[in-house]
Every structure is written in C-alpha cells, then in structure tokens.
Chain A
Amino acid sequence: MKTLVVTPLPVILGVLLLLSPACSRKAVQSGGDTRALQEEMARGGAKGGASSSFPDTSLSGKDETSSLRGFDRNPLEERLGGGGHNGNGTVTPGNTLMAKSDPGGAARQLAEIRAEQTASAAAGLRDVFFAYDSFSITDEGRHALANDAEWIKSNPQAQLKIEGHCDERGTSAYNLVLGEKRAKAVRNYLVELGVVPQHLSVVSYGKERPFCTEHGEHCYSMNRRGHLVVKVGK
C-alpha cells in the first residue's frame, strides 16, 4: 500500500486522465436501477409543472457580497432594523410578515373536523391498528374493516377518507411515507371486500396529528392507526 501512495503523482494523474471517462461510464452502466431510470426519462419523464407562476428563487444576478462592512477607525453610523428589506436579503426584525391566511379558515377547519367526527361516530366506523414499523393489516384489523365495508356498501352516497397515522418514534418525514402505506393498505383491503374505490380517498398525517401525546407503548399503539372518516364538505 505504501508503494501505491508514493507512486509518482504525474503518472497517476496521466493515466487517470486517459481512463477516467471509462471509469465513470462503467459506473453509470453498472446499476440496473440507473438503466431503468434512463429508460423512464427517455419515455418522457419530464412533464409540465405547476401552472401558477412564482418568483425567482435563484441566486443568479443578485448581489452576493456580504452585508458586513468591516471595522473602521472612524466608523460611520449604521442604522439597524425597522427599515424594511435592506436590499441584500437580510431578514431583520420588522420585515417578517405573517403569510396572508384565509380569514376564518382556522375556524372553518375546526367546524369541519367536528362535523366529520360526528358523522364518523354515527356511522360506527372502526379504525385499524398497526404494529411498530408495520403497515400489515392484522386479523383484528380485517375484522374491523369487514364491519366498515358493510357500512360503506349500504351508504353508497358517502365518501370515506382513510387517514394514515404513526406514533412519535422515527422521523417526521419517513412517518408521512409510512402513514400513506398504512392508509393505502386499508384502502386496498376495503376494495378487496368489494368497496368501490371511487368512494375512498387516502391521506397521510404521519405523526403530526396524534390521538394521544404521552410517551409509551399504550399511547404509541393508539397512534399507529388507519382512521376512517366520513368526508364532510370538499
């Protein structure tokens, strides 16, 4: 190994220059995953984005010099804050505004959540509970969903929302993915039981809307759930 390190640098660099394209090409071709991706992109992986136009978020064309001016033997007076945006992007007190929110939006949300809770309780819908790290539906879960499927079939006008929830362990981000897997597992089983898929929608709340906020398995097991809700409003 010692000899490798002391090999004259120009020789290594020279051979590296000659062969490096081959190395990198080899690396790209070796992954089956990469090949599938390239095929996907060749089939037209690019598509139109969101329709609304939004502001330029790039750094290009902006003054990137620091807003710091350095110490001076005869320092000039610098006025701080309160003057709105100072041109170099510094967020100072007085120029951070609350985003415009829908007036009464929070109250409307709360009213709709209560209406959904009332409708779901009246329907006698049962939730499904999951094991740690798991999105497999247990025997108990199948039992609950058999009950739920009967209700949906006899109430064909109803739209059902399946919320996927997780306990507080793990990352916020990955729990959103796990919550979606749980919600989709519930949906798929209901469809197996003969429920029309158009009556079902799924949403993941991850660990962001827990039913119970204590730390401990009693609480965790309450929060790992597929929660069935009768949709109210949009």
Chain B
Amino acid sequence: MNARLRVVLEEAVLPPLVALAVAFVAGDLLILIYGQAPGAVWRALLEGTWGNAYGFGQVLYKATTLTCTGLAVAMSLRAGLFNIGAEGQLAAGGFGAAVAGLALPAGTPWVIAVPLCTLAACVAGGAVGAVPGVLRARFGAHEVIVTIMSNFIVLALLNYIVSAKLHVPETLHTPEMHAGQVARLSGVIAGFHGSAANWTLLIVAAACALAWWYLFRTRAGYELRAVGLQPDAAEYAGVRVGRTWRNALTLSGALAGLGGINFVLGYKGYYEDGFAGGAGFLGIAVALVGRNHPLGVLLAALFFATLSQGGLAINAMVPKQIVEVLQGIVIIAVATSVPEVRRVLRNAAGKLAGGRA
C-alpha cells in the first residue's frame, strides 16, 4: 500500500507540481524584468480570480469548457491516439446545441430541452471525431494530420453556414434558441453577478465522473487503455484495435463537443462564430498536465482557467501575455523535463536517507 501510494505520488502528482514550481520561478523572473514586485503581481492574480465571486465565477466558466476539451484529449491519449481536433469538435458541439435549441418549439420544458441540446452537442462533436477515427481504423491515416486538418474544414464550414444561412443580420451568431437555455449561477448566488458561470458545469462534472468510470470500471475502458498501452497485447487479448481507435476518437469528439453547451446553453443562448477561441488547443495542455486522468484534467482545467482569467487581473501591472508564456512553460515542463527532475529528486532523497542511516 505504501509503495503504491508512492508510485501514485511520484508518477501522477509530483510532475505537475514540479512544473508549477518551474513556471512560478520563470514567472518571477519575467515579472522582475518588467520592474514589478512578483509578490504583488501574484497576489493581484489570486485576488482577481479566487479572491472574489465574479473572478471565481469566470474561472469556473472557463474551466468548464477546458474540462471538456481536456477530457477529449485525455480520452484519445488513453487509446494511444492524439486528437488535435478538439477546437473544431468544440465548435461543432456548440453549433449542434444551438441548432437543436432553435429546432425545439418555444416553451419546451427544460427537462426535455437541456438533455436534447446536450445530446446534440455530443453527437455533433462525436461526428467530427468519428471521421479521423474511421480513417485511422480503416486506412491507417494518421489521426494527428487528419484532426489538424479537420479543424480548418469544420471551422470554415461552420463559418459559412452561419454567415450565409443562419445569422442574425449584422452579427456572426445564430438567432437565440427557443428552448434549452441553462441558468447562470448568479441566479442563486448573487455574488457571481456578471460572471458567465452557469449550471452546465454540473453536466460537465458528471461527464468527468462518467469518463473516469468508463475508463477504469468498464470492459470497454479496460480494452481502450490496453490498446493505448500495448496494442499488440490488446490484439492478443482479442480486442479489435481498429474498432477501439474509432470508438475512442468518436468519444473524444463527443466530449469536446459537450464543451459547447457551456457557451451556447449557459452563457449566450446562441452559437457565435469563433467562440471556441483556442479552448480546444488548450485542452491538449490540460490533458498533459492532468496526466490523462479525469480528476487531474479537472484540476488542470481550473489551473489554466485561473491563469487565463488572472491575466486580465494583472494586465495593469504586466502585459497579460505573460500568462500565455507561463502556460507554455508549464506545458513544456510537464512534457519534457519532469522525468529528469523526478530522478534528480529521488537520488537526492536517497542520499539524504543514506546519510541519516
């Protein structure tokens, strides 16, 4: 038990923490270069995010979308595939939800409308994800290339549909939905006033729990992870590897698409061109830092949302682009240097223990 706990700590928890520490030090240096006091800037960042209800609400709002795209990338990586298409899948999901909300008659009760719109978001995202899945399974087309390209195709297609067929004049968004909108948190807790945080975060939290259950408690998840870890062994175990790839990318797309409900159902009530705004790509970072574990993804999404919102809070002191630099540093630290750092730490710990003994 003790050994197992240590493995969990060393493999899953330590790397992101080390990455954070590295980013923190790098941030200090950057802030000093700008002639500001690091302490004051960090305090401002925290106060602007976790320090007040509005800022916290914005963090929750941003984290909701990032959780979905992070889960999407994590799901694909667990199957040994790299889905770079979350950006397009997220947009498609939002569009699907908006169209479903438009198609429903006004006055449809929310218990029917919200699940239907959510389902539409997942189906739209899943459809976009299924394409690279099928191409990989049937023709061996590399999913990284296909998903990158699918982003351009999907975003351009949605842009065309909205601007040519579905937009409210003078805007790049669709008309407001007739049904399926979800209330904001500010309706219950007044302090959230003005923030975009909304109750779709419960749906996303449930999806997060469901993703964990699927990966670690179902036979399909057992087989999916087996394919990702050792495809030859999975094949030996009677798993159809191609089919698993297809399912994983479809599921991945559906999770990314689910993120669309946060903006469409919970915030605006319509689809707007360009709402994804990089959240799909940031999902890659969320998955990496979250170690492809749903709980890790949730925490990493909160972290990146805090950075993103915090950038606005410190904009008066240092350029807000500084947080983008920090994001990059965290990603690089987690992706590359961490195993090395871990080894150094372990050796140091070993020497320390040896010295005492």
> A and B from one assembly?
no
